[in-house]
A = this chain, B = another copy of it.
């Protein structure tokens, strides 16, 4: 390739790297109220850079908390509209003493920029601004309509997002969303994400009496809440490690041959995966490979349990209450609310007469997200990545939940294309977060190429 935008990018490269460092110096930690002004500074900085890049409409749109940096460059009604998603807030840097260089003093070592937010998500997000600036310099602007949507609450769970997107759905209308937040499968291995899982959670509160009891006086004749809860909890999985909640799998299609073969193509070392957390053995639903399970099979996960005495030594108590926290990772077309209905029914059916139980649904449910391999914007992305890396991208999935993907899909009808250039070892959310300088440069090129490729 030797496009005009390549030249434009080369001309601004040193300046853009300096500017990225400037952005990385702003401790825009959304979780800490004492950094509210920094978060706002980062928003202002992003808006200013969008304006410098030539984006004609740039605004800070207020939410209940941190503003959305919104930009729009409308060029042609006949062309599709892409909305680029990213975020300008970062995770807290603790524990500080594990950082080799200070988190908000970006430092290059061995070709990597070390700083909080380098990969997640300032490097990616700013590369999209560099790209639009280069397209402006090289060809007078993008060939398709481009919107920018940078939020400031991603690292605190995007609490304002659902309401904001719903209320602003006309302004945000687009044909697809390009997520500039995420990573590649490997440094030389581009990847495209086809799905993320949904989430539904609840807390089970089991009670057997209105007071803890002396186990000598009561233990042999009164119900023990911890015992009843473990017996109830043990009914959630069968001997094949399948979820034993009736109806749990009803809405899930079986994996297709194509899906299984796509997954089988992904390099995955089971033993290295197991050894990475020092587990004695892998575990999971019979009949599926670990990666099939992680990416395409739903789970019922026990996140926490407690009841009775947790101190040192003996306390001879017959506990009257015990609690279990559950979240389910969901796949299409499981519905979070229906799944919680099924769990509630299961719990009531398996609760013995000597206990009472309540299921309290947790906030933060999320639908599963999936994009078809046939989606034209995804196919364009595959072609662009294939050209840039000289190899076809892997089709991957995530077992994690990406609420923003599902929100845009539900509210705008727009699929999300995950197109970002963090590295698997970028240590996002951890000390010594980094982004290779080469990845930043690749990102700038990739966004230019992709935006141009999307033209009809």
In whole angstroms, how far apart are the Cα atoms of A299 and B400 in the complex? Answer: 43
8 Å CB contact of A302 from B209, B227, B353:
B227
Does A74 lie at the interface of the complex (its beta carbon under 8 Å from any beta carbon of B)? no
Q: Does A322 contact B (CB under 8 A)?
A: yes
Instruction: Kindly state whether residue A401 has any CB partner on chain B within 8 Å.
Output: yes
A219-B329, A301-B219, A304-B226 in contact; A355/B280 too (CB < 8 A)?
yes
The proximity string for A residues 214-237 relative to B, scoring 1 for CB distances below 8 Å and 0 otherwise, is 111111111110110111011011
A353 touches B280 (CB 8 A): yes
List of B residues within 8 angstroms of A237 by Cβ? 227, 231
| Interface residue from B217, B230, B352, B364 paired with A230 (Cβ < 8 Å) | B230
Q: What sequence of 0s and 1s flags, for each residue 302-326 of chain A, a beta carbon within 8 Å of any chain B beta carbon?
A: 1111111110011111111011110
Tell me if A14 counts as interface (CB < 8 A to partner B).
no
**Cβ A302 vs Cβ B224 within 8 A:** yes
- Interface membership of A101, Cβ < 8 A: no
Q: Per-residue 0/1 for A251-291: is the Cβ within 8 Å of any B Cβ (1 yes, 0 no)?
A: 00000000000000000000001100111111111000011
> How distant is A195 from chain B, measured CB to nearest CB, in Å?
12
Using CB atoms, name the residue of chain B closest to A401: B216
Cβ contact within 8 Å between B307 and A305: yes
A124 contacts the other chain (CB 8 A): no
How far in angstroms is the closest Cβ of chain B from A225?
Answer: 9
Of all chain B residues, the one with the shortest Cβ separation from A279 is B209
The CA of A230 and the CA of B305, in the complex, are separated in Å by 9
Residue A163 interfacial (CB < 8 Å): no
Say yes or no for A293: interface residue by CB 8 A criterion: yes
Tell whether A106 is near chain B: CB-to-CB under 8 Å. no
* Residue A201 interfacial (CB < 8 Å): yes
B220 A293 Cβ-Cβ under 8 A: yes
Residues of B within 8 A of A399 (CB): 215-220
Give, as a whole number of angstroms, the nearest-CB distance from A49 to chain B: 31
> In the complex, A290→B218 CA distance in Å?
9
| A299 engages B199 (CB within 8 Å) | no
A398 within 8 A of B: yes
The docked-state distance in angstroms from the alpha carbon of A297 to that of B317 is 17
Knowing A214-B400, A283-B224, A399-B217, the reply to whether A314 touches B325 (Cβ < 8 A) is yes
A281 near B314 with CB under 8 A, answer: no
* 8 Å CB interface, A355-404 against B: 355-356, 362-364, 398-401
Q: Are B278 and A209 in contact, CB atoms less than 8 angstroms apart?
A: yes
Asked if A400 and B216 sit within 8 Å, CB to CB, the answer is yes
Q: Which of A209, A303, A306, A354 has the most CB of B within 10 A?
A: A303
Which residue of chain B has its CB nearest to the CB of A285?
Answer: B220
CA distance A218 to B398 in the complex (A): 10
B306 touches A310 (CB 8 A): yes
User: Of B229, B279, B294, B318, which contacts A208 at CB under 8 A?
Assistant: B279
Contact present for A307 and B304 (CB under 8 Å): yes
Is A197 an interface residue, CB under 8 A from the partner?
Answer: yes
Task: Tell me if A250 counts as interface (CB < 8 A to partner B).
Answer: no
Q: Contact check: which of B209, B216, B285, B294 meets A197 at CB < 8 Å?
A: B216
Alpha-carbon distance A200/B260, docked complex (angstroms): 52
Most chain B Cβ neighbours within 10 Å, of A199, A302, A308, A352: A302
Query: With a CB–CB cut-off of 8 A, which chain B residues contact A325?
Result: 308-310, 314-315
User: A297 vs B237: C-alpha distance in the bound complex, in angstroms?
Assistant: 32
Contact B234 A282 (CB under 8 A): no
Bound-state CA distance A315–B199 (Å) is 11
Which B residues touch A302, using CB under 8 A?
A: 224, 226-227, 230, 308, 319
When the two chains form their complex, are residues B401 and A316 in contact, meaning their CB atoms are under 8 A apart? yes
Q: Kindly identify which residue among B307, B316, B401 contacts A199, using a CB–CB cutoff of 8 Å.
A: B316
Asked if B277 and A301 sit within 8 Å, CB to CB, the answer is: no
Min CB–CB distance A293 → chain B (angstroms): 4
Max chain B CB contacts within 10 Å: which of A236, A284, A304, A308?
Answer: A304
18 contacts between A and B (CB under 8 A): A208-B280, A209-B278, A210-B277, A210-B278, A215-B329, A216-B401, A220-B290, A220-B329, A221-B293, A222-B283, A227-B302, A230-B233, A233-B234, A279-B354, A304-B309, A305-B307, A306-B310, A313-B362
